[in-house]
Structure 1
């Protein structure tokens, strides 16, 4: 049996993780002096409120010991190999913790850098589960996850780059340029890093451009695609974006989810993202 592990930034719901037989290891979220566990006792609303009130918010990766505990539990339950899929190593030390734990595991563990964040990492874990259920060996399962992450397109609209600047996810120069020009930045993930893609003057124009880029990415997928919209404290706008995308792409609906607390801590309220992963 091959077990699949990911982290809580993958935005997998508990129901989806259980159905796909994916084990989720949580990150810690620190709000002020209080420490919370993502997926258990902290909500995105708490993050948005704290950021809006200028309360310090940060995140902490799972420890190697935590990963090792998970790996050994899965081995005791019958796993003969484990594929562990995580958010970009350029943005978090989560993968490093997994790699350190893998070296001590009693069963082989293959650690995969999805090079992505959010639901793109979740899609990569889902592809790994599909490959496993189709009879692939550990190498095949790992390759499915790796290819899903590398081929994904993640597009993000943020009201301001300030929160990403605070967390060190984009350069201070980019944040200053955005503030000086009063622009609404569209970002993407390239080589595992959040990078500016375009600058648009208003939120309305930025979301319209976000939709155009998402449609172009989806239409370029020859064998179909998975798509999802995420937000932080921006449900009405995210729902509207998903509705227009569904109409343009000929789908009945596109799922809309609030981004996890660990990612929300770095993107800030008002963030809306669209992720497209080719099948």
Structure 2
């Protein structure tokens, strides 16, 4: 039986210390801040990131270098026979495609890169599922296929507190941002599959929360067999505002009684483009193997 290492990146929300507890390896995502390179959870904490972001620093996302990935993979292959690498969704970063090319050229049959189009708490669940399969004796190829075949069995809905960072990143026009700010709109975005897309517009935080709760309940009923089946995970994420996140968690727990709700800070690679104050709700179908 092959010994399989599970690797993801810090967009999963899994910290370096949590990774050790889980038996998973986490590649820290690099950021350029005022032309200086930082690595998430290595020399850049959540607090430091938001301090720089809200302080008008020039913040941009980057991707792990081929050398950093090869160094990690080479080290792991001294102890493991195979590696499953689960990076953030290819629709949100070029890091996935770069890893595909590198694995195909240098590590064929040894490193299996999975583009199962997840991010944040749903990417975390994929890494945990992969580790469970590895522990159960599945090969890297079998794990990769299972994750790929179930890649659309999750959704994330994100309510923004501000349009400023979408405008700053050129993802909406200044005119649209100004109108949205004037009307005090709370956009709700969706990640299901490749990209971050517009889902709905709310006038109030309360309305935005209801939109997300309704959307997730609809996914459960129409995609995951209904509430009675219980065949799903409920997860929430947030950017920076822990107090608002804790309140949101209580509301989600009330909406889904009897279900454990996992909460993590939102991936910094996403937060870079949407800013602080965002709240997210995710649902992921339980993986059976």
TM-score by shorter chain over 0.5: yes
Residue 41 (structure 1) aligns with: 43
Q: Cα deviations across residues 62-114 of structure 1 (Å, max 9, x unaligned)? A: 0111111111111111x222111111112212112312331213752111112
Counting only pairs closer than 5 Å after superposition, residues 155-194 of structure 1 correspond to structure 2 as 155-167=157-169, 170-172=171-173, 175=177, 178-179=180-181, 181-194=183-196
Q: Which shifted more, 47-56 or 22-31?
A: 47-56
For 2:181 and 2:233, the matched residues in 1 are separated by 34
Gaps of 5+ in 1: none
Counting only pairs closer than 5 Å after superposition, residues 78-93 of structure 1 correspond to structure 2 as 79-93=80-94
Out of 17, 20, 23, the position equivalent to 1:18 is 20
Task: Establish whether residue 236 from structure 1 lines up as the match of residue 236 from structure 2.
Answer: no
Residue 153 (structure 2) aligns with: 151
For 1:146 and 1:205, the matched residues in 2 are separated by 34
For 2:88 and 2:35, the matched residues in 1 are separated by 25
For 2:176 and 2:28, the matched residues in 1 are separated by 30
Gaps of 5+ in 2: none
Q: Is the 8 A contact 2:236 2:280 kept in 1?
A: yes
For 1:31 and 1:138, the matched residues in 2 are separated by 36
For 1:164 and 1:265, the matched residues in 2 are separated by 9
For 1:182 and 1:244, the matched residues in 2 are separated by 23
For 1:49 and 1:211, the matched residues in 2 are separated by 30
For 1:161 and 1:115, the matched residues in 2 are separated by 24
Q: Which shifted more, 9-18 or 115-124?
A: 9-18
For 2:150 and 2:128, the matched residues in 1 are separated by 9
Q: Cα deviations across residues 153-201 of structure 1 (Å, max 9, x unaligned)? A: 1110111233234345x45486566346431100001431110000011
Q: Is the 8 A contact 1:72 1:106 kept in 2?
A: no
SS at match of 2:236: strand
Q: Is the 8 A contact 1:9 1:262 kept in 2?
A: yes
Task: Establish whether residue 274 from structure 1 lines up as the match of residue 275 from structure 2.
Answer: no
Residue 65 (structure 1) aligns with: 67
Residue 100 (structure 1) aligns with: 101
Q: What is the root-mean-square deviation of aligned Cα atoms in Å?
A: 2.3
For 2:214 and 2:93, the matched residues in 1 are separated by 30
Q: TM-score, normalised by structure 1?
A: 0.89
Out of 9, 26, 29, the position equivalent to 1:27 is 29
Out of 203, 206, 215, the position equivalent to 2:217 is 215
Residue 2 (structure 1) aligns with: 4
Q: Is the 8 A contact 2:152 2:192 kept in 1?
A: no
For 1:278 and 1:131, the matched residues in 2 are separated by 16
Out of 107, 118, 121, the position equivalent to 1:119 is 121
Q: How many residues align?
A: 277
Q: Is the 8 A contact 2:121 2:264 kept in 1?
A: no
